[in-house]
């Protein structure tokens, strides 16, 4: 059974409080009351109401001051002010401060009840809208995830870490959607209303990296004519994505490690340390453990940025998503162009499925856009696709027996590895040289029992 909305009534006159309580209880509301603002705030902390009905003129804390303080505790609180001094100026001030309504004493029962009902309807709509936005933000976007077990497993891991402050390292080939996943982590975190800042480390020369990341004061170097905030400071309170972090030189890695460990930074030519509150997400297409072993990436920095590691599988390991993503991109392009989205005919669909997509999701998006621009009909055919993808259609028809033989060899290898490790998927995947997520996908592909 749904709980009735809770209303807090505040008035320094006891007779008024009791009268209001009787009226509202008869209307089916749950009511609490207080004789002054301070007591009301204590009770609001213990039991947050949906609506505050308060007298404007009270000893000590008046109604406007109470409204401001109460909304610090309950941001979506609706407020109705009551006063015997009903002037236009007071009403305007109350509305500017965020009051829902303003009623004058002596109160008319019908006017009061109508105002209370309307205020609660408005609050219910605001709360519902906020919850819908939150669910939409947490919904799995089609350009990040499809229907494959591998991607659903990845997003389940991402959900578990989204609300934490843990540093996340996102690995995967170029074009797999690492940046989109990082943005999704930010949108589903408590920091969603704070900045999301992306830095492509590969595009910054070593000589500029420190000043761009940490900022500088005027006169720090030739040409520094004014203070500049670095990316860390711009992202303060939010999330910072260091894309292609594997490209940072060792000398810059030392300075980056110091900032991450101390959670403070000093701009170039500044002595005062600035406290940082930044959620760090890093992305790379490189094998960082191998880079560490080769002496190209600091081990201590690697451990700092990889509290949680998320690996985005390449598109070739999730072929069931190709058609889904292609449709999504087509609808996106059609919406921008203001025209109906074309379909993809059977031959073009086979060509898309047969291609290996070395450039992953980014290459697929480009191929779909290429076809969208070229087609003048309501369906995309093979002739509209890029040459590399068209060639895959010929390869598909030319050598089905070879592909079938390779699939059979892979299937037997997986069966043998699982048998050798008593069905342990983690150990079998390691022996086969693939991730456990990839192994799970292969089990589904070949119809093998998990």
* Assigned domain for 325 exists: yes
172-197: burial string, b at 16+ Cβ within 10 Å, e else: bbebbbbbbbbbbbbbbbebbebebb
In order, the DSSP letters of 143-195 are: TT--S-HHHHHHHHHHHHHHTS---EEEE--TTSSHHHHHHHHHHTSTTTTS-
Looking at residue 93, which CATH number applies to its domain? 3.40.50.2300
Examine the domain organization and report whether 173 and 273 are in the same domain. Answer: yes
Examine the domain organization and report whether 392 and 428 are in the same domain. Answer: no
Q: How remote is the C-alpha of 329 from its chain's centroid?
A: 20
Band (271; pLDDT cuts 50, 70, 90) = confident
What sign results for the dihedral spanned by CA atoms 290, 295, 300, 301? negative
CA atoms within 13 A on the CB side of 71: 16
Q: What percent of the chain has pLDDT over 70?
A: 89
Examine the domain organization and report whether 100 and 153 are in the same domain. Answer: no
- The two three-digit tokens of residue 102, written as one number: 């303003």
Average pLDDT (178-192) is 90
Domain boundary among 255, 288, 313: 313
* Assigned domain for 350 exists: yes
* Assigned domain for 230 exists: yes
Looking at residue 432, which CATH number applies to its domain? 1.10.10.60
Q: Which long-range contacts (CB under 8 A, 24 or more apart) does 417-426 make?
A: 418/448, 425/450
Examine the domain organization and report whether 391 and 411 are in the same domain. Answer: no
Q: How remote is the C-alpha of 213 from its chain's centroid?
A: 23
Average pLDDT (41-65) is 91
Give dist(CA 183, CA 197) in Å, integer: 9
Examine the domain organization and report whether 214 and 278 are in the same domain. Answer: yes
Task: Give residue-wise pLDDT tens across range 307-366.
Answer: 999 999 998 888 878 888 888 889 889 988 888 889 998 888 889 988 999 999 999 999
Total of domains in the chain: 4
Looking at residue 212, which CATH number applies to its domain? 3.40.50.300
Examine the domain organization and report whether 160 and 307 are in the same domain. Answer: yes
Band (406; pLDDT cuts 50, 70, 90) = low
The Cα angle at residue 361 between residues 359 and 367, in degrees rounded to 5:
75
Examine the domain organization and report whether 307 and 324 are in the same domain. Answer: no
Band (140; pLDDT cuts 50, 70, 90) = very low
Examine the domain organization and report whether 103 and 158 are in the same domain. Answer: no
* Assigned domain for 144 exists: no
Looking at residue 355, which CATH number applies to its domain? 1.10.8.60
44 pLDDT exceeds 90? yes
Average pLDDT (405-419) is 76
Examine the domain organization and report whether 206 and 154 are in the same domain. Answer: yes
Q: What is the pLDDT of residue 91?
A: 65
Give dist(CA 315, CA 362) in Å, integer: 10
Average pLDDT (158-178) is 91
Q: Is 420 helix (H, G, I), strand (E, B) or coil?
A: helix
* Assigned domain for 425 exists: yes
143 pLDDT exceeds 60? no
Residue 347 sits in which domain range? 316-398
Examine the domain organization and report whether 189 and 246 are in the same domain. Answer: yes
- The two three-digit tokens of residue 62, written as one number: 């008046």
Band (401; pLDDT cuts 50, 70, 90) = very low
* Assigned domain for 142 exists: no
- The two three-digit tokens of residue 283, written as one number: 């992305």
């Amino acid at each position: 059974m749904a709980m009735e909305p809770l209303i807090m009534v505040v008035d320094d006159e006891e007779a008024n409080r009791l009268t209001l309580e009787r009226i509202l209880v008869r209307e089916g509301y749950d009511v609490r009351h207080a004789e002054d603002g301070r007591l009301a705030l204590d009770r609001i902390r213990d039991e947050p109401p949906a609506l505050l009905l308060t007298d404007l003129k009270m000893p000590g804390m008046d109604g406007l001051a109470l409204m401001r303080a109460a909304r610090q505790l309950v941001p979506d609180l609706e407020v109705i002010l009551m006063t015997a001094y009903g002037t236009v100026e007071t009403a305007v001030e109350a509305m500017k401060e965020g009051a829902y309504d303003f009623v004058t004493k002596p109160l008319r029962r019908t006017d009061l009840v109508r105002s209370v009902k309307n205020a609660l309807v408005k609050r219910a709509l605001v709360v519902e809208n906020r919850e819908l936005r939150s669910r939409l933000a947490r919904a799995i976007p089609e350009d990040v995830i499809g229907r494959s077990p591998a991607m659903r497993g990845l997003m389940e891991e991402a959900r578990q870490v989204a609300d934490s402050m843990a540093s996340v390292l996102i690995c995967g080939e170029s074009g797999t959607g690492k940046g989109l996943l990082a943005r999704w982590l930010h949108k589903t975190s408590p920091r969603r209303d704070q900045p999301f800042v992306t830095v492509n480390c590969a595009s910054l020369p070593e000589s500029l990296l420190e000043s761009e990341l940490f900022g500088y004061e005027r006169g720090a170097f030739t040409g520094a004519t004014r203070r500049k905030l670095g990316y860390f400071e711009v992202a303060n309170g939010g999330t910072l994505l260091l894309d292609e972090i594997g490209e940072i030189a060792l000398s810059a890695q030392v300075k980056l490690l110091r900032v991450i460990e101390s959670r403070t930074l000093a701009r170039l030519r500044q002595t005062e340390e600035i406290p940082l509150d930044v959620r760090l997400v890093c992305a790379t297409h490189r094998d960082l453990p191998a880079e560490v072993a080769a002496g190209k990436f600091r081990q201590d920095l690697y451990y700092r940025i990889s509290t949680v590691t998320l690996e985005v599988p390449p598109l070739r390991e999730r072929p069931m998503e190709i058609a889904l993503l292609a449709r999504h991109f087509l609808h996106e392009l059609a919406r921008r162009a203001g025209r109906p989205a074309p379909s993809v005919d059977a031959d073009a669909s086979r060509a898309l499925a047969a291609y290996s997509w070395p450039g992953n999701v980014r290459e697929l998006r480009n191929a779909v856009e290429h076809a969208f621009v070229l087609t003048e009909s309501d369906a995309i055919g093979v002739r509209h696709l890029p040459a590399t993808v068209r060639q895959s259609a010929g390869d598909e028809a030319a050598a089905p027996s070879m592909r079938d033989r390779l699939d059979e060899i892979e299937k037997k290898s997986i069966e043998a590895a699982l048998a050798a490790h008593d069905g342990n998927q983690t150990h079998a995947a390691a022996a086969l040289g693939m991730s456990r997520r990839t192994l799970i996908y292969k089990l589904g592909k070949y119809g093998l029992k998990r």
